[in-house]
Amino acid sequence: MDTAARVRRIKPSPSTAAAQRVRELKGQGIAISDLTVGEPDFDTPDHVKAAAIRAIESGDTKYTPVNGTPALRKAIRDRLRRRHGLEYTDAQITVGGGAKQVIYLALTATLDEGDEVIVPAPYWVSYPDMVRANDGTPVIVDCPETDAFKLTPARLRAALTPHTRWLILNTPGNPTGSAYTLAELRALAEVLLDHPRVCVLTDEIYDEIWYDPGAHPSLAAAEPRLADRVFVTNGVSKTYAMTGWRIGYGAGPADLVAAINTLQSQTSSCPSSISQAAAAAALDGPQDFVHATVETYRTRRDTTLELLGQIPGLTCTTPSGGFYLLVNCQAHLGHHTPDGRRVDTDEEFARHLLEHQQVAVIHGSAYGAPGYFRISFATSTQALTEACARIAKACEALLPERPS
Q: How far apart are CA 385 and CA 396, in angstroms?
A: 17
**H helix intervals, 32-175:** 46-57, 70-84, 99-110, 126-133, 153-159
Q: What is the pLDDT of residues 213-266, one digit of tens each?
A: 988 999 999 999 999 999 999 999 999 999 999 999 999 999 999 999 999 999
Q: Measure the CA–CA gap between 80 and 382, rounded to whole angstroms.
A: 36
pLDDT in tens, 273-288: 999 999 999 999 999 9
φ and ψ at residue 170, rounded to 5 degrees: -100, 110
Alpha helix (H) residue ranges in 111-253: 126-133, 153-159, 182-192, 219-222
278 within 8 A of 52, measured Cβ to Cβ: yes
- Residue 6 pLDDT: 85
**111 vs 115: CA distance, rounded Å:** 6
Cα gap 114→137, rounded to integer Å:
6
Of 134, 93, 94, 127, the C-alpha closest to 110 is: 134
Instruction: Give the per-residue pLDDT at 403.
Output: 78
> Is the confidence at residue 21, as pLDDT, over 90?
no
Contact by Cβ (8 Å): 174, 38: yes
Average pLDDT over residues 139-149: 98
With beta carbons less than 8 A apart as the criterion, state whether 311 and 329 touch. Answer: no
**pLDDT of 13 strictly over 80:** no
26 — pLDDT class (breaks 50, 70, 90) = confident
Q: What is the pLDDT of residues 153-162, one digit of tens each?
A: 999 999 999 9
Q: What is the pLDDT of residues 372-398, one digit of tens each?
A: 999 999 999 999 999 999 999 999 999
Please check the confidence at residue 18 and state whether its pLDDT lies above 90.
no
The pLDDT, as a whole number, for residue 12 is 77
* 248, containing H or E segment: strand 248-251
Question: For 373, left (φ over 0), alpha (ψ -120 to 50), or beta?
Answer: beta
Provide the pLDDT for residue 159: 98
Per-residue pLDDT at 306: 98
Q: Which residues pair with 325 in a beta bridge?
A: 375
Smallest Cα–Cα separation from 356: which of 382, 310, 395? 395
Mean pLDDT across the chain: 96
What predicted TM-score, i.e. pTM, was given to this entire model? 0.96
Give the confidence band of 269 by pLDDT, cuts at 50, 70, 90. Answer: very high
27 — pLDDT class (breaks 50, 70, 90): confident
Q: What pLDDT, in 10s, does the model give residues 306-356?
A: 999 999 999 999 999 999 999 999 999 999 999 999 999 999 999 999 999
pLDDT (0 to 100) of residue 215: 87
Cα dihedral value 300, 305, 311, 317, nearest 10: 150
Is 15 a residue whose pLDDT tops 80?
no
Give percent above pLDDT 70 in the chain: 100
Reply yes or no on whether the pLDDT at 174 is more than 80.
Answer: yes
- Any idea what the Cα angle at residue 380 is, between residues 285 and 214, rounded to 5°? 45
The string of pLDDT tens digits covering residues 362-371 is 999 999 999 9
Q: How far, in Å, CA of 87 to CA of 103, rounded?
A: 21
Compute the residue count for the chain. Answer: 404
Domains of the chain: 5-43+289-397 (3.90.1150.10), 62-286 (3.40.640.10)
